Structure formats: structure tokens, C-alpha cells
Structure 1
Amino acid sequence: MAQVIDLDGERPGRRRRSGAAAVAAGAQRATGERDSRRRRTTPLLADLDPQPLSVIPDDAPPAVDAAAPSGTPSPADAVESPAPAGPSGARRRPPRTAVAKKAAAKKAAPRPTVRPAVAAPAAASSGAPVARRMPRVRVVGEPDRLAAVTAAATAAGEAIADALAGSPRAADVEDKIAAALAFLRRRLTGDYEVDEFGFDRELTETVLLAVVRPLYKRWFRVEVRGIENIPESGGALVVANHSGAVALDSVMTQVAVHDVHPQHRFLRMLGADLVFQTPFVGEIARKGGATLAANADAERLLSAGEVVGVWPEGFKGVGKPFSERYKLQRFGRGGFVSAALRTRTPIVPCAIVGAEETYPILGNLPTVARLLGLPYFPVTPTFPLLGVLGAVPLPSKWLIEFGAPVPTDELGIGAAEDPMLVFDLTDQIRQTIQQTLYSLLVQRRSVFF
């Protein structure tokens, strides 16, 4: 049977209470309504009143987990507002409503997203106002996604470190990772140096040589001889034969000088104009230590004590047909010899066997070469028939031998102005390289082995 309520909100048959009793009953009902509203939201964030905050002491009690055993404060008890202290300094707990009792009954239920802190203790009996502090909350979810991801990454890193700990080379792996991170930091902050020619020593050693080193070690299996003929310090001019349609021989020689030489010296290569006019290739060549094949640049590098590499055959060497393999072309007018004479640096002849077979040139398309602005357009057994796959070099076996250095400091300062002396010395270097090529071809067992 439905109850009838009159207009002033009192049930029939119930006696009107006195003023004081009505006020007390209303306050109790209001307290219950507030508690009911609080329990519908996050407990730690619903009980924040605009009161002064106290500084969290360093020795604050640890957070209480909601999944703790019985006998520990529940999350509902941990966030209740501390009641004002009485005359004796004891804390009085406000009356607990049915909703509060229901929340207390669920104290054993785990709360993985929120870890409330213990409420601040009540003030002393001196009557000072109670300063409440913001509860420390850790929410694993959208507000703290970065912390969660960081924790997961840390755990993954520890797992990888544990897996690597069993390997005897774990320390080497850690050193390489640390070096790579330091290199990235320096590149991002601009904390690196280049010389007046644009040579980036760190980039060359860390990236450029590392990219071509697999070709050097595993694809061409380069064997180096006579590396001791390159001086440990001071300038030197390395003169080598040129071949192979693509100038891979210069790059492999640079790797050989850096990796095999005891002092890990850098070979500063002299390149043609086309190299530096090509987009991206010219910039990489500059950063890798190459510069224009001009006497002025060569003399500046040699005077600075650098090891300079020159391939005097130029495009006539790399573009010659396979039928003329290992036959040296003309060495130009001997400009490299003049640079060595002016700087009084030794000339080291170098012979390279194996580069001729990487791209065997069967023919040339001069019309296409003129349209593309190239000195030649090679036709090999795989290019352009196989397209991009035709650009993969054949895995020939390479031999690089550095001959005995030819001194120039004994010829005098004015020797570079004597054209006959320059011509004779140029021809002597060419003949030395040619004889060394013939000797290496006889010693080579196979083109690919």
C-alpha cells in the first residue's frame, strides 16, 4: 500500500520534532548523503576541501595497499577527513552510514589503479588549525601513461641485459650501444667538427666506413699486402690503377688503409668534377674525406701530413672495356708528381686486382651517355638487362698491394719545375704499378676464390 506524504514533507501519523532535534536529524541525513556521493567517485580525489596544504615530510608513512591483509587500514578509512581533536587530543570518528559500512566491507577488494596515502595525523591539543596535505596518488592509466611505458621499457632493458649477461661478449655489446648513443647525441646537438675540405672524421669512421665494410670483408674478401710502406705519420701520396665501371676500388682502398694500417690512417681521395657535381654523392664524398683532383688541394693536404690517394687514369681507366683489363691507361700530365715534389712527400705505388671483374664492360652506349651527361654508359652481362639487380657487383676476389715508397725530398725544391723530371718520375710510377699487376695476376688462383 502506497504511503501518503503531505505537502510539508512529513509522513502522516508521525509527530513533529522539536527544533533542535529536527536540526540534528537533518545534519545526520546530510552527512549520509555526502558520504553516499563521495563513494561514487575516486575516494582520494573526492575529499579535497579548499584548505591550506602541508608539506609532505620525508618520513611520511608508506602508502597503504588496498589488497593488504586484514588489520591494516582500508582505502575508505585512509581517505576519511580527520575529525577535530577533542580536549584530550583523541580523534573522534564521525558516524558511519550504511554506504560507508558497505565500502568498508569491501576493503579486501584489490584496487590496482590507485594507491592512497595515509591521512595526516590530527593536530595537538593546543588548538592549532589542522593543515591537510594532498594525498599522493599513483594512477596507472591515461594520466600516467609515460611512467607506465618507461617502466615497461626499463623491464625490457633489464631482460635484454640479463640475456646478454651470459654471453662472453656482453661487455663489448654494451660498449657499442653506449658509443652509438653518444654519437647520436653529438650529431643532434651539433657537437662535432669538420675540416676546411668538409671532411667529417667521426661520421666517416662510425657510419661511412661501417656501411662499405661488409663488401670489403665478405663480398670482395680483400687481401692487403705491403701496408707497412705507408708511413705512420706525415704526408704520403698513394697512386693506384683505376677500373671497374664504378669507382669501388677507391672506396676499398680507403677501408684498407684505415683498417689494416697500425695507426688507422684516413685516405684523402682526389675525385673528378663529376663526383662533386652529382647530388648527394658529392656531399657524402666531401664528408668522407674526398676533394677535387687539383694540385692546389693535393698540396694543401700533403703539407698538412695527410695520406692522399689519386687514380691518374681517371674515366679512361674505369670505362675501358673488359678486353683491356689490367692494362694501364695514360697517367695524364703528371700533376700528382708535381704536388709530391713541391711538398717533398713520398709516392707509394698501389696495385689493385679484382676490381676489373666486378662490372665487366662488354660495350658502351655513347648516345645515352651524352644525354645523361656521363663520360660513358657501360653495358655489362647484368646491366641494363636486369635493371636494378644489374647494379650488384660480382663477388670477385681482391688483392691490394702497396709498393715501396719513392722518396722525393732528395730531388730539391725546384724539381717540380723540371718537366722532363716530372715525366720520367710519372712513367716510373706507372711501370711499377703495371709490373705489380702482372705479378698479382700470376699469383691469383681464381677470379672469385
Structure 2
Amino acid sequence: MTNGSSARVIPLHRGKDEFRGADGGPSDTAVRSERKDGAPVVAFPRANGARSRQLPADPLGRLVDFLKHRVTGDYSVDEFGFDTELTDTLLLPPLRVLYEKWFRVSTHGVENLPLDGGALLVCNHSGVLPIDSVMTAVAVHDDHPHHRHLRMLGADLVFKTPLLGTLARRSGQTLACGTDAERLLGAGELVGVWPEGFKGVGKPFSARYKLQRFGRGGFVSSALRAGVPLIPVSIVGAEEIYPKIADLKPLARLLGLPYFPVTPFFPLLGPLGAIPLPTKWHIEFGEPIRTDRFDHEAHEDPMLVFNLTDQVREAIQVMLYRRLSQRRSVFRG
């Protein structure tokens, strides 16, 4: 720390065994390192979502502890701006209410997530607003045995929006670009990508659960470079939270938005129309698709990238159709 009011910047760890204990699990011992300016910092294990220090168990005590350290500046962020303590203390609890009480999310295939090390989670995108991405992050954190954080790759619009961009950075998100993705994957992080982008999240209700184009497969190239598995993820339930029946394109262009949705309730009911419908969600993590069996130049093979992209897309579509065939109703699952 350079002074009494600034956060420590903790560089991402690089080696697989950097935070390993004698039993192969995360070490409880702090790892000392140096910043570029030579100032020493103490980086506690960040692998598997471990916090930088022990926090009180009760919510009130945790909040008091959080506020105390905010005032003194005794907290740390990584080089992307990810603030673990702020995320766990202030951001996850309200999202958890949506997750558990409103959408009643059920998860499947959590055992397909690696206990440690990097992996790229590839998810379908829907719902007009990208609520499905943050619900997936809650699912990974709360249902993974090591409570790992999902580092989400977001669109430029997210980081250009005042306040939202800062909040996204603090919660572990970064730009959806190959450089950032590879740095995170190389550091052993779980990274989430939604390759349909705005085409998926803003598609009409009539096209629900039909995957849009996955682009040029840049996410596959990043996984190949890092040698980490691709994990297909299907999200059922998000399509129905805001049934989009029209798009006011002139208004969207005026506001600089990719679309301006019209639903049965919005904008007719004003702010009330922005309340998502309480659909029942299912988030399923599919079997990993390994990339470490390919050579180091595999990312330069366009046919391989295309085939892996198509394989991931097909796996997600099959998972969606299977889960839909088992669903009793939109609101009961």
C-alpha cells in the first residue's frame, strides 16, 4: 500500500502451484510479493475464491468490518480492479435474493466445473437485460465447493456506462477481448463468455431458445492458447423474464442502445414493467471439452477453431432442448 487510503493492487498469480498447500489444496499461508515500484504486499490466496482475510460470520459484523477497512484503505484489488471483499459483502447478497427467492435457480452439473485451474464457461444469452450472466456468476460462487468467482467478459457498452462500468470492474468483469481473457485463464481463473452478445440477449420472444451466431470463435482461440477446457452452459428460464414483442429501433439509435425493447408490460407500465417475471430457472454446466490435447499452434488453425466453436454451440443447444423437454411450466420448472 502506498498510503493509508489506497487499496493494495494484487497481481494475478501465474503458477498452478503458487497457492498450493501440502495437501494439494489452497494454502492458508500468505504469499509475499512485490509491486512494480518495489513496495511489498501480502497476497493471500485468491484461488477458488478465497478471501484476503477472515471475515466475521454474521452479516452485521461483516458489514461493520467491511466499512472499517474501506475507511482505512486496508483492502486489495487485482490488476483488473476486482474487489473480492466488496463483491462478497455488498453485491452478492442482493443478487442471491433474486437467485434463491425470485428465480429459484436450480443448478445441474456443478461437478463439471474444475476445483481449481482455469476454464472458459460458454453460455447462451437471453432476457433483454443480461441478468442471466450475473445469475450464472452467483451459481458458480454459491454452488462450487470452493466458492470460486466467475470472471465475466462484458461488452464495451457495459464499461462505457457511468457507474455500471466501475461496478462491473469491481465485481470482476472485464472487456470481452482475447488479451484479457487469456490473462485471466492463464492465471487459473474461471472465465465466463456469452458469444451471442446483443443478438442473443435482445432477440424477440418468438426466437426464444434458438441460439444466435457465435461470431468468429475468438473465445475458442483464447481457450486453445491457455490450454483450458471449454465448458458449455445452458440457461433455461431467462428467455421469459421480459418477453420482447417489438423493438423501437429509432429510439434505440437515439439513445445509443443496441435495441429498445417493447414487452407486454414495458414501457406501458413504466418502471413496474421493468420488474422481471418470476420464472423458474435451470442453469446446467455441461461436460468439459478439452483443449490441452492440441499443439501450441492450434489457435491458428481456422478449421479447428470453427469446429470447436460449432461443437460448443451444438452442446449448448442440445442441453437447452433437453432441459425444455423436462420442464413442466415456465414458472414451476
| TM-score interval for Structure 1 and Structure 2 normalised by the shorter chain | 0.7 to 0.9
> Which residue pairs with 1:189 in the alignment?
72
Equivalent residue letter for 1:434: Q
Measured against aligned partners, the alpha-carbon deviations of 1:170-206 in whole angstroms (never above 9, x if no partner) come to xxx9843322211110011111111111110111111
Measured against aligned partners, the alpha-carbon deviations of 1:99-138 in whole angstroms (never above 9, x if no partner) come to xxxxxxxxxxxxxxxxxxxxxxxxxxxxxxxxxxxxxxxx
Distance 1:387 1:190 in 2: 40
User: Of 178, 181, 187, which aligns to 2:61?
Assistant: 178
User: Of 293, 296, 314, which aligns to 2:176?
Assistant: 293
Shift of 1:248: 0.3
Q: Structure 1: where are the runs of 5+ without partners?
A: 1-172
User: Of 294, 299, 321, which aligns to 2:204?
Assistant: 321
Q: Is residue 220 of structure 2 the alignment partner of residue 334 of structure 1?
A: no
Distance 1:274 1:391 in 2: 20
- After TM superposition, the structure 1 = structure 2 runs for residues 206-245 of structure 1, keeping only pairs within 5 Å, are 206-245=89-128
> Which residue pairs with 1:424 in the alignment?
307
Equivalent residue letter for 2:193: V
1:231 partner SS: coil
Q: Structure 2: where are the runs of 5+ without partners?
A: 1-55
What is the aligned length? Answer: 277
Shift of 1:239: 0.1
Structure with more relative contact order (C-alpha pairs < 8 Å, separation 6 or more): 2
Q: Taking structure 2 as the reference length, what is the TM-score of the superposition?
A: 0.82
% identical equivalent positions: 66
> Which residue pairs with 1:366 in the alignment?
249
Measured against aligned partners, the alpha-carbon deviations of 1:34-89 in whole angstroms (never above 9, x if no partner) come to xxxxxxxxxxxxxxxxxxxxxxxxxxxxxxxxxxxxxxxxxxxxxxxxxxxxxxxx
> Which residue pairs with 2:8 in the alignment?
none
Distance 1:340 1:177 in 2: 41
Distance 1:286 1:233 in 2: 22
- After TM superposition, the structure 1 = structure 2 runs for residues 320-399 of structure 1, keeping only pairs within 5 Å, are 320-399=203-282
2:77 partner SS: coil
1:413 partner SS: coil
Distance 1:174 1:332 in 2: 44
Equivalent residue letter for 1:343: A
Q: CA RMSD in A?
A: 1.0
> Which residue pairs with 1:412 in the alignment?
295
Distance 1:207 1:174 in 2: 14
Question: Structure 2 vs 1, CA of residues 228 and 371 (structure 1 numbering), >3 Å: closer, same or farther?
Answer: same
> Which residue pairs with 2:330 in the alignment?
447
Distance 2:325 2:60 in 1: 45
Distance 2:286 2:193 in 1: 15
Distance 1:246 1:176 in 2: 29
Distance 2:180 2:160 in 1: 17
> Which residue pairs with 2:28 in the alignment?
none
> Which residue pairs with 2:156 in the alignment?
273
Q: Is residue 316 of structure 2 the alignment partner of residue 433 of structure 1?
A: yes
2:68 partner SS: helix
Equivalent residue letter for 1:287: R
Distance 2:265 2:58 in 1: 42
Q: Is the 8 A contact 2:62 2:89 kept in 1?
A: no
User: Of 188, 192, 201, which aligns to 1:309?
Assistant: 192
Distance 1:380 1:194 in 2: 39
Equivalent residue letter for 1:424: N
Equivalent residue letter for 1:335: G
Distance 2:115 2:297 in 1: 27
Q: Is the 8 A contact 2:242 2:276 kept in 1?
A: yes
Structure holding more strand per residue: 2
Measured against aligned partners, the alpha-carbon deviations of 1:199-241 in whole angstroms (never above 9, x if no partner) come to 1011111111112110000000000000110100000000000
- After TM superposition, the structure 1 = structure 2 runs for residues 49-198 of structure 1, keeping only pairs within 5 Å, are 175-198=58-81
Shift of 1:412: 1.0
Equivalent residue letter for 2:137: Q
Equivalent residue letter for 1:286: R
